[in-house]
């Protein structure tokens, strides 16, 4: 849940990745993952949001990201 993600990241800087792919049924899936930004060690990625989209382009990806914040 979001509280465990906040506890893991704390007050550190974060990285965010938006990944779009297609599943085995050719549906468009978009994921937002984030983690603690650290030069010392790799962080555990956290899935923040996942959604099926009708189509993928800059507008649908941006809308998904903005609505997920």
Confidence of residue 57 (pLDDT cuts 50, 70, 90): very high
Query: How far is Cα 67 from Cα 63, in angstroms, rounded to an integer?
Result: 6
Give the pLDDT confidence score for residue 1 in this predicted structure. 84
Query: How far is Cα 11 from Cα 25, in angstroms, rounded to an integer?
Result: 40
Residue 69 has pLDDT above 90, yes or no: no
List C-alpha distances in Å: 42 to 25, 27, 38, 45, 65: 32, 31, 7, 9, 24
pTM comes to: 0.83
- Of 7-11, 27-31, 62-66, the range with the lowest mean pLDDT is 7-11
Beta-ladder partners of 16: 34
Give the pLDDT confidence score for residue 19 in this predicted structure. 95
Taken in order of first residue, the domains within the chain and their CATH numbers are: 2-68 (3.10.450)
Q: In the predicted model, what is the mean pLDDT of the chain? A: 94
Residues of the chain above pLDDT 70, percent: 100
């Amino acid at each position: 849940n979001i509280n465990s993600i906040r506890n893991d990241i704390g007050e550190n800087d974060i990285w965010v990745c938006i990944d779009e792919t297609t599943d085995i049924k050719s549906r468009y899936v978009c994921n937002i993952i984030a983690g603690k930004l650290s030069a010392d060690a790799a962080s555990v990625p956290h899935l923040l949001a996942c959604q099926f989209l009708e189509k993928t382009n800059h507008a649908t990806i941006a809308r998904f990201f903005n609505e997920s914040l």
